[in-house]
């Protein structure tokens, strides 16, 4: 006779075992063999000499006589489940199509290949550059840490020009003045010093300005500037080049307007607006109800700039233009906060894969 306490103990152990059998049964039901290796792992785990089925069978000796029958049935059903699954999977694996020497079950879901994505600013930069490349512009790059001459002086910005102000420019040292470039015009100067006309370059790159960071502005952003110098280059060439760019970039229906402006390095200077593509010119929050979006600055290269770079302004003329990359990227992708571009949140970046 077993005492009541011991009987109770065995019953609790049996409960736990039955619970385990249920969990293992679930696992067996869900199992699909990917190949013969995974099938063999399954066999060893459940049906092997040291497998789960054997181990649970071993518990039989501890089961009180009264429970032996029903426990035995549960165990048997469990064993049969494991064996049946093994046989079924074995058959399925063996019947698979033989493709390139591997047995592949074409009905299994594929393994996802995680794909990277280009940054939206890179996507926009590439689009801009690619359009100008079709007009025979070539990409030129230059340093982000620059001296005063290439960022300011050679560009006809005199010593008292407000753009040099400490509030706008990040100076790394003041004597001699070394700074983070405030535009990619420094590359144009370097190119004019280095080579002879005709010059037809496009200068993409990162620039820095000491501005308060907000949804609309950042202390660093990206620009693409362009420069074309040759004999007889006129404002008409500038307009035609930019018309082409706008049509390619924003579509045939977009309207363009030039407004007179001022830059020390161009004369005459202009700013170019395009009709707002969101409201089609009727006025919305993005274009501040004007129907127009300002996208770039441009003009005919100032004779002093040519002289500063050793190019004869009597013989050569040229045009230059410069635009930000973030603004058109915001518009194109419907993004409302410029800070998203530099936060590197993968949930944001992932959305541009395959774009």
67, with CB counted inside 10 A (0-12, 13-18, 19+), is: middle
154 lies in the site for ligand PHE, by CB under 6 A: no
Residue whose tokens read 């459940």? 46
Bridge partners of residue 270, in order along the sequence: 260, 298
Q: Extract the tokens encoding 193.
A: 């010093």
**201, 321, 325, 341: which one binds ligand PHE (CB under 6 A):** 321
Position 297 contacts ligand PHE (CB under 6 A): yes
Interaction of residue 298 with ligand PHE, rule CB under 6 A: yes
Strand partners, 266: 263, 301
The nearest distance, CB 249 to ligand PHE, in angstroms, is 17
Give, as ranges, the residues between 186 and 205 that touch ligand PHE (CB under 6 A): none
Our finding on whether 299 is near ligand PHE (CB under 6 A) is yes
Residues 6+ apart with CB under 8 A from 84: none
The least CB distance from residue 189 to ligand PHE, in Å, is 11
Is 185 near ligand PHE (CB under 6 A)? yes
Region from 49-57, 136-144, 320-328, 344-352 binding ligand PHE, contact rule CB under 6 A: 320-328
- Look at residues 33, 48, 2, 85 and name the one whose alpha carbon lies nearest to residue 56: 48
Q: Which is nearer to ligand PHE, 20 or 210 (CB)?
A: 210
296 vs 329, beta carbon nearer ligand PHE: 296
Q: Which of 85, 164, 183, 200 binds ligand PHE (CB under 6 A)?
A: 183
Structural Rg of the chain based on CA atoms: 36
Residue 60 CB partners (closer than 8 Å, separation 6+)? 68, 71, 72, 75
- Which positions touch ligand PHE (CB under 6 A)? 183, 185, 225, 263, 266, 297-299, 320-322
């Amino acid at each position: 006779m077993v005492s009541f306490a011991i009987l109770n103990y065995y019953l609790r152990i049996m409960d736990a075992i039955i619970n385990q059998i249920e969990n293992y049964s679930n696992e067996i039901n869900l199992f699909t063999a990917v190949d013969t290796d995974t099938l063999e792992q399954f066999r060893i785990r459940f049906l092997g000499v040291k497998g789960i089925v054997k181990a649970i069978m071993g518990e039989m000796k501890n089961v009180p006589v009264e429970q032996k029958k029903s426990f035995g049935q549960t165990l048997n059903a469990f064993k049969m489940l494991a064996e049946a699954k093994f046989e079924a999977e074995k058959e399925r694996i063996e019947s698979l199509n033989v493709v390139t020497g591997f047995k592949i079950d074409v009905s299994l879901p594929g393994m996802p290949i995680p794909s990277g994505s280009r940054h939206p600013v890179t996507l926009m930069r590439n689009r801009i550059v690619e359009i100008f490349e079709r007009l025979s512009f070539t990409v030129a790059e230059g340093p982000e840490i620059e001296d005063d001459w290439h960022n300011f002086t050679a560009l006809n910005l005199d010593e008292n020009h407000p753009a040099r102000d400490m509030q706008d420019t990040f100076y790394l040292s003041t004597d001699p003045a070394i700074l983070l470039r405030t535009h990619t015009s420094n590359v144009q100067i370097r190119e004019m010093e280095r080579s002879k006309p005709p010059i037809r370059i496009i200068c993409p790159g990162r620039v820095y300005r000491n501005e308060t960071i907000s949804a609309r502005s950042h202390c660093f952003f990206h620009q693409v500037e362009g420069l074309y110098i040759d004999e007889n280059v006129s404002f008409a060439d500038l307009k035609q080049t930019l018309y082409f760019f706008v049509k390619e970039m924003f579509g045939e229906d977009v309207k363009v307007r030039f407004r007179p402006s001022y830059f020390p390095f161009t004369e005459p200077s202009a700013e170019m607006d395009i009709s707002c593509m969101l409201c089609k010119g009727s006025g919305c929050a993005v274009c501040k109800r004007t129907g127009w979006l300002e996208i770039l600055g441009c003009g005919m290269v100032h004779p002093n700039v040519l002289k500063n770079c050793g190019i004869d302004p009597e013989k050569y003329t040229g045009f230059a233009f410069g635009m930000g990359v973030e603004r058109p990227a915001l518009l194109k992708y419907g993004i409302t906060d410029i800070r998203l571009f530099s936060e590197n949140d993968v949930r944001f970046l992932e959305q541009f894969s395959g774009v």
